[in-house]
Amino acid sequence: MSQVSGFIRKLSANLSDVVQYELPLGDQKLALNPLIGNDIRLEFLQEIRCVACDRKTNKSFNQGYCYPCFRSLAQCDSCIMSPHKCHFEAGTCREPDWGQTNCMIDHYVYLANTSGLKVGITRHTQIPTRWIDQGATQALPIARVSSRYLSGALEVELAKTTADKTAWQAMLKGPPEPLDLEAQRDRLLSEYASTIEDLQSRFGLQSIQPLLDAATVNITFPITEYPDKVKAFNLDKEPVVEGRLVGIKGQYLILDTGVLNLRKYGGYRLAIDY
């Protein structure tokens, strides 16, 4: 068997006929698609480095940050998970320059089919990465908005009748039934027309632009078999994970012995035998 080791980051993925995955380990990347069907072994080497500042830390926060960065960086603030709570305009953003660059720019509200229909938001630079990371088999942008706050405000309204979270265990058990996302888009834009008009009257007509001509993006993941039951590994409690790699979906490695969410372990030093 071969071995590589290093401090990992979230899986990188490229959209193709089948999603192509690589695992960054320090300065190298391990192509994962060729390993499907093979036995692999992953070991947490009991070292963690913050994904932002690279300092050693005994505990990881928010998928890879040390505690000082978790407390100080804008990308770790609660408004990242709840964009409608953005406080940039109040002048209390942790990092105004970061907020200007990452939040006060065009975002997209989208529909996706993960464990079923869901609504979500993402920066324009994160399409289609965001959809792949969520394990979506179909995705469709339905509106372009002028800021992260505004995308969150619209998402909150749409989430009153459409899920805004993925049931990750169901997502990993098999592909969902195909959906007509364009019909769902038309339904939601009609149902929430007055809400959109209200937001446009407050923030400007161009602040929300419905995307009536966008086409559904179909995504195929490299999976040879799905688990009947989903057992999630925890590297903090089980530092060694072994099994046959049968697929990759979202940020999860699917082994015949369980699943591992690699995004959760950003900054962990792993040794991988394959």
What are the boundaries of each domain within the chain? 3-64+223-273, 105-218
**What secondary structure letter does DSSP report for 127?**
T
Which pLDDT value is given to residue 94?
97
Which pLDDT value is given to residue 1?
83
Q: Output the six-digit token pair for 177.
A: 């039934």
Pairwise CA distance, residues 112 & 132, whole Å: 10
Q: Is 73 helix (H, G, I), strand (E, B) or coil?
A: coil
Q: What is the chain's length?
A: 274
Contact (CB, 8 A) for 98 and 75: yes
Pairwise CA distance, residues 238 & 235, whole Å: 5
- In this prediction the pTM is 0.95
Q: Encode the chain (274 residues) as per-residue pLDDT tens digits.
A: 899 999 999 999 999 999 999 999 999 999 999 999 999 999 999 999 999 999 999 999 999 999 999 999 999 999 999 999 999 999 999 999 999 999 999 999 999 999 999 999 999 999 999 999 999 999 999 999 999 999 999 999 999 999 999 999 999 999 999 999 999 999 999 999 999 999 999 999 999 999 999 999 999 999 999 999 999 999 999 999 999 999 999 999 999 999 999 999 999 999 999 9
Pairwise CA distance, residues 79 & 86, whole Å: 5
Pairwise CA distance, residues 4 & 270, whole Å: 8
Which pLDDT value is given to residue 73?
98
At 88-145, the pLDDT tens digits run 999 999 999 999 999 999 999 999 999 999 999 999 999 999 999 999 999 999 999 9
Q: Which of 88, 30, 9, 4 is nearest to 273 (CA)?
A: 4
